[in-house]
Amino acid sequence: MLAYLLKRILLMIPTLIGVITLTFVVIQFVPGGPVEQMMLEMKGRGGAAEASGGGAEYRGRRGVDPDKIKEIQALYGFDKPPIERYFLMLKRFAKFDLGQSYFQHRSVWELVKSKMPVSISLGLWTFFLTYLISVPLGISKAIRAGSRFDVISSMIVLVGYAIPGFVLGVLLLVLFGGGTFVQWFPLRGLTSDDWDQLSLMGKVMDYLWHLVLPITASVVGSFAVVTMLTKNAFLEEIRKQYVLTARAKGLSEHRVLWKHVFRNALIPLVTGFPAAFIGAFFTGSLLIETLFSLDGLGLLSYEAVLRRDYPVVLGTLYLFTLIGLVTRLISDICYVMVDPRIHFEGMHR
């Protein structure tokens, strides 16, 4: 297992470099870079850069002193050739320095940390509610497979899965956010304006009150996958020979299900648990955050792409890719912890 872990860790390096390199190459050909964005802001026009008829020059640069353009290029590091900028970026990333935002004048680390509370709130509540509801529901469906309860619950979770989260969010706002009917829940934000003046219990209730609509819009679509995965895993285990043997020995159905079936059936869920849990900290749903005016990681990434804020784009991509690779490795380790019969050497021959 140690040899396998070492191999996986070494493979992370070229994978990470490959993702960063591909993205860096692509953005070199994207029109309307940060220099053009700054030119437009200086001229008071804002928005994306507009290409001229020939496509060789941007209108944002017209009428601007060439010396000023060179000064801005030097400020952003564009006075250096791309290959030099690429290796400087890799050197910074090797030191876990994600760089400085071009337009927000803050480090990428500070920006990520400032947006984390919103994304953590959405991600963790979605994660916990999905597992706390879907796993027991999936077990109940497996035990009562083919019953009316199984059919009706399947229809409900599949309908929820078919409705996009942002569509459900709009519907919830119209119905319960003061859109057309009643205003039971707030329209935006995670807290009220008088948050600092509330008591401790008042702050907790205010926070939960603001979370109801965005969490509902985020979590409903997640029920179907976990529920059906749990049901199918239990059904597969229930039909195996060792279950028939346990029943033949006179064990109660409760003992058979919870002592023998439960552990084996939850292997697919438990092994994916670390990735889902850690990923919840970096969950950024752009549409949900925009719809409910929540300033999280999804909105940060979207705005960085629009404004060509390359340090934010590349820095967050590097961070999230690294986290994804590490959690994938943790998931593989969980396979062994849950089922010691698994040997990595045999899996990769």
The pLDDT score that the predictor gives to residue 52 is 37
Q: Given the structure tokens 């070199």, which residue do they identify?
A: 28
The pLDDT score that the predictor gives to residue 51 is 40
Q: Which of 262, 208, 212, 229 is nearest to 131 (CA)?
A: 229
The pLDDT score that the predictor gives to residue 281 is 64
Cα distance between the two ends of the chain? 14
The pLDDT score that the predictor gives to residue 279 is 67
Q: Digits of tens for pLDDT over the chain (349 positions)? A: 678 788 888 888 999 999 999 999 998 888 777 777 777 766 654 444 444 333 434 444 555 667 777 887 887 888 888 899 999 999 999 998 998 998 888 999 999 999 888 888 888 888 889 889 999 999 999 888 889 999 999 999 999 889 888 889 889 988 887 767 778 888 778 888 888 888 888 888 988 898 899 999 888 888 888 899 889 988 888 888 888 888 888 888 778 888 778 877 877 777 677 667 776 666 557 788 888 888 888 888 888 888 889 999 999 889 888 888 888 888 777 777 766 666 655 544 4
The pLDDT score that the predictor gives to residue 196 is 81
CB 291 within 8 A of CB 299: no
The pLDDT score that the predictor gives to residue 56 is 39
Q: What is the three-state SS of the chain? A: CHHHHHHHHHHHHHHHHHHHHHHHHHHCCCCCCHHHHHHHHHCCCCCCCCECCCCCCEHHHCCCCHHHHHHHHHHHCCCCCHHHHHHHHHHHHHCCCCCECCCCCCEHHHHHHHHHHHHHHHHHHHHHHHHHHHHHHHHHHHHCCCCHHHHHHHHHHHHHHHCCHHHHHHHHHHHHECCCCCECCCCCCCCCCCHHHCCHHHHHHHHHHHHHHHHHHHHHHHHHHHHHHHHHHHHHHHCCHHHHHHHHCCCCHHHHHHHHHHHHHCHHHHHHHHHHHHHHCCCCCHHHHHHCCCCCHHHHHHHHHHCCCHHHHHHHHHHHHHHHHHHHHHHHHHHHHHCCCCCHHHHCC
The pTM of the full predicted model, rounded to 2 decimals, is 0.75
CB 231 within 8 A of CB 145: yes
CB 29 within 8 A of CB 42: no
Q: Given the structure tokens 């009316």, which residue do they identify?
A: 148
The pLDDT score that the predictor gives to residue 46 is 42
The pLDDT score that the predictor gives to residue 318 is 92
> Which CATH fold topology does 109-291 show?
MetI-like fold (1.10.3720)
